Amino acid sequence: MNSPSGPLAGAGTPRRREKERALAARVGSWLAWWVLLMALWIILDWSLDVAELLVGAGVAAAGAVAAELVGHQTDSHFRVRIRWLIPLLGLPGQVLRDTVIVFAALGRLLIRGEQPASGFVEVPKVWGDESTEGISRRVLLMGGTSVAPNTFVLGMDRERDVMVVHYLVLPTQRAAR
């Protein structure tokens, strides 16, 4: 009889790496993580004091080591094309717009008792392949779409090439339908 919690740890065969990543690729991955984490430190700390920057560099280095170690242990890698990051430039505007939409709906609910029209929408998006780049693209697409407070991606349908998105407040053209 199978355990209701799933197979026991170590009961299966260990996963084998297809090939070891080159040292240059691992160093490049570490450097990318370090730059990202250091930038996040500067944004959150909001200080350019030398002591603060040195602490941030050390914390970012430790975080980069952890991220690279986890990526190596799970044999999962994140590959990003620069052109995929271009839509992220509009993300602050989308977050601001969605925040206004959500708070306006909250105001209408509190003042008039008017429930917003919410629901699920299928947004056409291409699934792509199962390569590291294809998986990374889907993660960025789903994560970036879910950042704004009015939208949350539930998943993607591979067969129909659609992304299922829940809108807390449906856009007006969709709400009219």
What is the tens place of the pLDDT at every residue in 9-35?
455 555 555 566 678 888 888 898 899
Number of H helices, E strands in the chain: 6, 3
Per-residue model confidence (pLDDT) at position 70: 83
Residue 98 sits in the same domain as residue 60: no
Please tell me whether residues 98 and 70 are part of one structural domain: no
Residue 126 has pLDDT above 50, yes or no: yes
Q: What is the pLDDT of residue 68?
A: 87
Lowest mean pLDDT among 32-36, 72-76, 83-87, 112-116: 72-76
Asked if residue 168 and residue 101 are part of one domain, the reply reads yes
Of the three residues 45, 77, 109, the one that is the final residue of a domain is 77
Q: Crossing angle for the helix pair 23-45 and 50-74, nearest 10 degrees? A: 140
Residue 148 confidence (pLDDT) above 70: yes
Q: Tell me what the pLDDT averaged over the chain comes to.
A: 83
Shared domain for 59 and 101, answered yes or no, is: no
Number of domains in the chain: 2
Choice between 39 and 133, residue whose per-residue pLDDT is larger: 39
Closest to 149 measured CA to CA, from 95, 73, 104, 111: 95
Q: Which domain holds residue 162?
A: 89-176
Encode 146-159: b = buried (16+ Cβ within 10 Å), e = exposed.
eebbbbbbeebeee
Q: Are residues 93 and 169 in the same domain?
A: yes
Structure tokens belonging to residue 91: 């993300």
Q: Is the same domain home to 43 and 64?
A: yes
Based on the domain organization, do 100 and 164 belong to the same domain?
yes
Domain-terminating residue out of 55, 77, 99: 77
Q: Let me know whether 152 and 119 are in one domain.
A: yes
Does the model's pTM come out above 0.85? no
Mean predicted confidence (pLDDT) in 121-148: 86
Helix (H) or strand (E) holding 92: helix 91-112
Residue 172 shares a structural domain with residue 141: yes
Reply yes or no on whether the pLDDT at 88 is more than 90: no
Round to the nearest angstrom and report the end-to-end CA distance of the chain: 50
Residue 16, in any domain of the structure: no
Looking at 77, 110, 139, which one is the last position of a domain? 77
